[in-house]
Amino acid sequence: MKLILAIVNNDDSAMVSSGLTREGYSVTKLATTGGFLMSGNTTFLIGVEDNKVDAVVELISSFSKKRTQVVPTSSYGVGNYTSFPVEVTVGGATVFVLNVERMEKL
């Protein structure tokens, strides 16, 4: 058995959640925040049998799209402060697959 931890952008989380539940996977959702942009994410916890891992990862991938976003950055100089926009890539998913020794639904 495996535990899949999938960190997904909030813009994609509803589609990922719907896709997983439609395919019959039990999913736990946690509201999380990314460290770089301090933007909202959803972390999914999904317990699956070993032979289902690739199908779940593919499903998550199909609903988690990367896109670009313009964010302000700050620069400090001697006595002045400037702000300028930078284009960054957001979205997609970060997926961890962990071994599970035991799982029980009580």
Quick: pLDDT tens for 67-95. Answer: 777 766 666 655 566 667 777 767 789 99
For the chain, give every domain's residue range: 2-99
pLDDT at 41 over 80: yes
- Residues β-bridged to residue 97: 4
CA dist., res. 41 & res. 30, Å (int)? 9
pLDDT at 35 over 70: no
Q: Which fold has domain 2-99?
A: Alpha-Beta Plaits (3.30.70)
DSSP reduced 3-state for 22: helix
The CA–CA distances, whole Å, from 12 to 40, 68, 71 equal 11, 14, 19
The average pLDDT across 6-33 equals 94
Q: How much is the mean pLDDT over the chain?
A: 86
The average pLDDT across 3-26 equals 94
